[in-house]
Amino acid sequence: MANYENITIEKGMYQTKGGLSGALEKLDPSENYAGTSLEGLDAFSRQLKRYNIKVNGSSSDCVEKFFQTSNSAALFPEYVSRAVAQGMERANILPYIVATVTDIEGMDYRSIASTPADDDKELKIVGEGAYIPQTSVKTRENLVKLHKRGRMLVASYEALRFQRLDLFTVTLNQIGAYIARSQLKDAIDVLINGDGNNNAAENVSTATSGAITYDDLVKLWANMAPYELNTVLAPTAEMQKILALPQMQDANAGLDFQGTGKMVTPLGASLLHAPEMQSGKIIGLDKNCALEMVQAGGVVTDYDKLIDRQLERAAITCTAGFSKIFTEAAKTLS
C-alpha cells in the first residue's frame, strides 16, 4: 500500500495533466485502500486527513490551517477549485440539456455534424447488391467559440486566515453558481441562435402572441419529430404560464408539486426553469442529441498566488463553449 503520509506536494503538480488531483492519484492510487478505513477517499482527501484539515461542519478549521506547512499550503488551490466546482454542480442544469461533454487541451475545436434530409432519415429496405444509403458526417465550417467565465477573489490573507473553512466554502460555492449560470446563458444562446454555422433554431409560432396554450405545446411536440421532446427550457414568465395551464393542475400533480417541489412536466418532458432566458420564448429540445459542451479543463485557479498567500486578485475561471449537434433537435416556441 502506498504511504500517503510521505508524499511531497509541489506547485508543479498543478501543471500536469489532471492537475493536483491527478498527480496525487498517480503517486497514491485510491485502489490500494480497498478494504481499509480510508476506502472511499480520493488522494486529495487523504492529504487533508494527513494534515488534519477539516473543511466541512461546525468544527471546520480556519483558513490558516492550510498554511502550517509548505505541503499543506499547496493543497489550498485544489480546495478552492473543488469548492467552486461543487457550487457549479448544485446550481447547474446543463447536465439536463447537454448530450455530450468534450474535454480539449487547446483553445481551438471544430465539431462535427450530420445534416440528413428527410429522405435520409428513413431506413429503406436494401436489396441484394443494391446501393446502401449514406449518412454524411462532416466537420463544422466554424470553430466552437469558447468563453472564459470566472470571478476574481479579492481578499487579504489577514482578513481570511481566522475564517472557518465551512463559511469560506459557502462563498466559493456561490462563485461556482455564478459561473454555472453564465455557462447556461451561453448554452441557451447557442440553442436559439446557433453556433455560427447557420444552424439557428426553427421557431414554432403560438396561436396567440404573448400567450401559451396546451395546443401550442402539442404543436411544438409534433414539430420535433422525428426527435423526442424530452426537455423544455422556460424563463420565469413563461414558466408561470405553463404551470397555470388547466392541464397542468390536476389534483395528483398539485399534491406532488406541493409535497416534493417536483414540477409537472408538459407532455412528459422535463420542465426546467431558466431565468437567464429572454421572456416571450421557450425552448423545446431532445437532450440526447441537441447540444455538445466543449470545455478546456475544469475550474482553474491562480495556484501560485493562493499558495503564496497572495489572495488579492486571484482569478478563478472556467473555459467552455457549446456546439449544436443536430439542428432540428432543438426548436423555440414564441
What pLDDT digit, counting tens, does each position of 51-88 carry? 999 998 888 999 999 999 999 999 999 999 999 999 99
Q: Model confidence over 5-19: pLDDT tens digits? A: 889 999 899 988 889
In the chain the first and final C-alpha atoms are separated, in Å, by 61
> Between the CA of residue 297 and those of 27, 43, 77, 179, 180, what are the distances in Å?
21, 19, 15, 14, 15
Model confidence, pTM: 0.84
Which residue is it, cell 413563461? 238
- List the grid coordinates of 131: 446501393
Confidence band for 128, pLDDT divided at 50, 70 and 90: confident
Residue 298 has pLDDT above 60, yes or no: yes
3-state secondary structure at position 35: coil
Q: Model confidence over 149-193: pLDDT tens digits? A: 888 888 888 888 899 999 999 999 999 999 999 999 999 999 999
Confidence band for 24, pLDDT divided at 50, 70 and 90: very high
CA angle 317, 28, 19 (to 5 degrees): 15
Spatial contact of 63 and 25, defined as CB atoms under 8 Å apart: no
3-state secondary structure at position 94: helix
Q: Model confidence over 237-278: pLDDT tens digits? A: 999 999 888 877 765 655 666 666 666 577 888 899 999 888
Average pLDDT over all residues of the chain: 87
- List the grid coordinates of 36: 481499509
* Euclidean distance between CA atoms 90 and 179, whole angstroms: 11
Spatial contact of 214 and 245, defined as CB atoms under 8 Å apart: yes
Question: Is the bond preceding 235 in cis, omega lying within 30 degrees of 0?
Answer: no
Residue 114 has pLDDT above 80, yes or no: no
Q: What percent of the chain has pLDDT over 70?
A: 88
